[in-house]
């Protein structure tokens, strides 16, 4: 289990995105509508990493276009950062959910599902080489910094880039 076998040897985000569309490295690809890969400029100085796509992202095929995306856009605007200048992605590339009636409700990915997607995130980091990495949430923090990461202890923390990737 894992994405390693699906990750091509490439220096192209486009080729990486295309390969990710066929990833079957974990069971999440089955119920999800599609892979939702990162977006933004190859040489973005800022990379933001969230948990995983939500319902709206899964349906649209784009990162942070639902309610969390609206919050992110508002925060970026207040900070004077153009979203088009940043690379935005998620630790997990498929939407994990449980059905409640006609609604698909977000379900937190397991460590094994996060680990399965880690090769994609490593490649995005390798290709983009951001100066600043903004971790959006506990799942992204654990994916990038290890299982001892605790959001409550690290909220607002700034450090030189150190990741487990």
Residue spans per domain, the chain: 4-154
pLDDT of residue 156: 63
> What's the whole-model pTM score?
0.89
Q: What CATH number has the domain spanning 4-154?
A: 3.40.470.10
**What's the pLDDT score for residue 153?**
65
Q: For residue 120, how many other CB atoms are within 10 A of its CB?
A: 27
Successive 10-residue mean pLDDT values, the chain, 165 residues: 92 96 93 96 96 95 95 96 97 94 92 95 97 91 82 62 49
For residue 86, give the DSSP letter: E
- The predicted structure's pLDDT at residue 33: 93
Distance from C-alpha of 117 to C-alpha of 99, rounded to nearest angstrom: 23
In angstroms, the CA 84 to CA 41 distance is 7
pLDDT at 17: 96
**Half-sphere exposure of 105 toward its Cβ, with a 13 Å CA cutoff?**
5
* pLDDT score at 9: 95
CB neighbour class for 30 (10 Å; exposed up to 12, middle 13-18, buried from 19): exposed
């Amino acid at each position: 289990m894992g994405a390693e076998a699906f990750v091509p040897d490439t220096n192209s985000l486009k080729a990486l995105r295309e390969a990710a569309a066929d990833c079957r490295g974990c069971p999440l690809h089955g119920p999800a509508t599609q892979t939702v890969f990162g977006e933004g400029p190859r040489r973005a100085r800022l990379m933001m990493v969230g948990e995983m796509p939500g319902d709206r992202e899964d349906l649209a095929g784009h990162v942070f276009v639902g309610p969390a995306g609206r919050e992110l856009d508002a925060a970026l605007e207040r900070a004077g950062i153009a979203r088009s200048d940043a690379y935005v992605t998620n630790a997990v590339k498929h939407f994990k959910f449980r059905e409640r009636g006609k609604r698909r409700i977000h379900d937190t990915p397991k460590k094994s599902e996060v680990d399965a997607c880690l090769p994609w995130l490593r490649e995005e980091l390798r290709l983009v080489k951001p100066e600043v990495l903004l971790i959006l949430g506990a799942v992204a923090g654990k994916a990038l910094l290890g299982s001892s990461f605790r959001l409550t202890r690290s909220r607002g923390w700034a450090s030189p880039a150190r990741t487990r990737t």
